[in-house]
Amino acid sequence: MGNITEEIKRRRTFAIISHPDAGKTTLTEKFLLYGGAINLAGSVKGKATARHAVSDWMEIEKERGISVTSSVLQFEYGGYCINILDTPGHQDFSEDTYRTLMAADSAVMVIDASKGVEAQTRKLFKVCVMRKIPIFTFINKLDRDANDTFDLLDDIEKELGIATCPLNWPIGSGKEFKGIYDREKKCVISYSDTEKGTREGTATEIPIGDEAGLRTLIGDGAADKLLEEVELLDGASAAFDLGLVQAGELTPVCFGSALTNFGVEIFLQHFLDMATTPLPRKADIGLVDPVENAFSAFVFKIQANMNKAHRDRIAFLRICSGKFDAQMEVRHVQGGKVMRLSQPQQIMADERKILSEAYAGDIIGVFDPGIFSIGDTVCSPGKKLQYEGIPTFAPEHFARVRQLDTMKRKQFVKGIEQIAQEGAIQIFQEFNTGLEEIIVGVVGVLQFDVLKYRLENEYNVEIRLENLPYEHIRWIENKEEVDITKIVGTSDMKKVKDMKGNPLLLFVNPWSVGMTLDRNKGLVLTEFGRE
């Protein structure tokens, strides 16, 4: 068991989140560079393709196979084995992005120093808060003109409701960017971008107490400002507390420039010092310790292969305990079957590697003959446990689906149900009528195009989508106690049900949600669906 324990303890699994263009890809590339996983920065993914217009989406998927929406990067650094879960890099993201966070033990949040907190970060952040996972912030692009540092921190505190603790502090920005001050070591590390894309530049490091040296290194103006800011900061900022960081209540903040490779390795080292080993996960039998238990995992994502010739699907599993070995038999709890997982693999950005073993904390992709659903548990045959389901996240765009050729009803229903099972879309029906009327809900509008394209190409079914005005969906938390037919809402409220028959309410605006709650005492609504 010794070896297994050591392997698990050295794992760190995190998701990287940011608003598009904040520098997530660039930062990831630099991390990999430190791990020696790639030889040259810039080769992680075909960056140019990441920002294509919606209509090009399928071309991108075809070109890059499975990697666009799913990549897990694993690298070694300083004795650690690090798994980075990349969240989809499209402008328009999907529910998958949220789900990826369910498989991580911590999150790295990248913020553009000239923009501060942006809408997408806010949404992803809510999910981190719900899971209480530690969040590490990297404020990027200091080599460009940045917002005031205190304002940036204030912004995070106000927008996201989490306390910040800067581990270092930037000295100027843009053309005036001189480096960072390390608060723990109490020294200044000067900026250099001479070794762009390779290792971190050869920086000069001097203690802040050496005022003469500091003035020579960064100039009088910058030195005065820094000394003043440091005094302010030491007096005003929250004290560092690892317990609060690990509880997701305090975010350590580092500054740097991913593009010029400054501050990245420092951030990585701080992250590794503070990030947790794979966390115990909740199951029906209680918390499952990753080390004490035999193999167990849950499915957090299902991805259809875009290659029409082999309509296979890959299920992504997060290993929660023990060791996985390709030869072993496992039990798929929901399906009630003992089986071997076929073609276990690590899904890298541009390649798939067949795996022979993996440990708690790791993510594996396995061939799915159509038996897995999101949230399913897989474990050693002798174990009896079932992990907590993954919540359903609220779609924000809705459309009515009209099938153009009614003769193809069967293919249509099969197609739309399969696509919904993968979790890219959610489907609903009118509360009181049958299947004829299907309403589809998505987190990002790009998914509408994906649905249309896939139904046409994979199922040979044409559809028309009619947009609906709803933007807010609520699950009924106490559905057992409420008579759905008696709920009186606003005139623009719509009652629907999901494929399992759970009742839901759709609203055009938050005001209607409030009115409905007022008019129906005792009704409890939630933004996350229970599985």
Binding site for ligand G4P (CB under 6 A): 18, 20-26, 47, 89, 140-141, 143-144, 257-259
Partnered with residue 442 across adjacent β-strands are 397
Nearest to 256 by CA among 26, 520, 438: 26
**Shorter beta-carbon distance to ligand G4P: residue 31 or 428:** 31
Question: For residue 460, is it left (φ>0), alpha (ψ between -120 and 50) or beta?
Answer: left
**Shorter beta-carbon distance to ligand G4P: residue 38 or 468:** 38
483 Cβ contact list (under 8 Å, min separation 6): none
Q: Report the alpha-carbon distance of residue 300 to residue 303 in Å, rounded.
A: 10
**Shorter beta-carbon distance to ligand G4P: residue 259 or 283:** 259
**Shorter beta-carbon distance to ligand G4P: residue 142 or 366:** 142
Rg (CA), the chain: 25
Q: How far is the CB of 258 from ligand G4P (least distance, A)?
A: 4
DSSP secondary structure letters along 91-127 = SS--HHHHHHHHT-SEEEEEEETTT-S-HHHHHHHHH
Judging by beta carbons within 10 Å of its beta carbon (0-12, 13-18, 19+), is residue 231 exposed, middle or buried? exposed
Q: Report the alpha-carbon distance of residue 56 to residue 54 in Å, rounded.
A: 5
Q: How far is the CB of 141 from ligand G4P (least distance, A)?
A: 4
**Shorter beta-carbon distance to ligand G4P: residue 25 or 447:** 25
Neighbours of 481 (CB within 10 A): 10
User: Which residue is it, tokens 């708690």?
Assistant: 360
User: Which residue is it, tokens 């009924």?
Assistant: 476
**Shorter beta-carbon distance to ligand G4P: residue 25 or 392:** 25
Q: How far is the CB of 196 from ligand G4P (least distance, A)?
A: 11
Residue type, 15: A
- Contacts for 481-484: CB closer than 8 Å, 24+ residues apart: 481/522, 482/520, 482/522, 482/523, 484/431
Question: For residue 91, is it left (φ>0), alpha (ψ between -120 and 50) or beta?
Answer: alpha
Q: How far is the CB of 259 from ligand G4P (least distance, A)?
A: 3
**Shorter beta-carbon distance to ligand G4P: residue 20 or 219:** 20
Which value, to the nearest 10 degrees, does the dihedral of the CA atoms of residues 152, 154, 159, 162 take?
A: 110
Q: How far is the CB of 149 from ligand G4P (least distance, A)?
A: 16
Q: How far is the CB of 168 from ligand G4P (least distance, A)?
A: 15
* Phi–psi pair at 207, nearest 5 degrees: -65, 145
Q: How far is the CB of 406 from ligand G4P (least distance, A)?
A: 42
**Shorter beta-carbon distance to ligand G4P: residue 18 or 246:** 18
Q: How far is the CB of 35 from ligand G4P (least distance, A)?
A: 17
Partnered with residue 128 across adjacent β-strands are none
Q: How far is the CB of 88 from ligand G4P (least distance, A)?
A: 10
Q: How far is the CB of 48 from ligand G4P (least distance, A)?
A: 7
Compute CA distances 78 → 27, 269, 358, whole Å. 18, 9, 19
**Shorter beta-carbon distance to ligand G4P: residue 47 or 185:** 47
**Shorter beta-carbon distance to ligand G4P: residue 263 or 278:** 263
**Shorter beta-carbon distance to ligand G4P: residue 170 or 252:** 170
Query: Are the C-beta atoms of residues 137 and 159 closer than 8 Å to each other?
Result: no
Q: How far is the CB of 103 from ligand G4P (least distance, A)?
A: 19
Q: Residue 406 gets which letter from DSSP? A: G
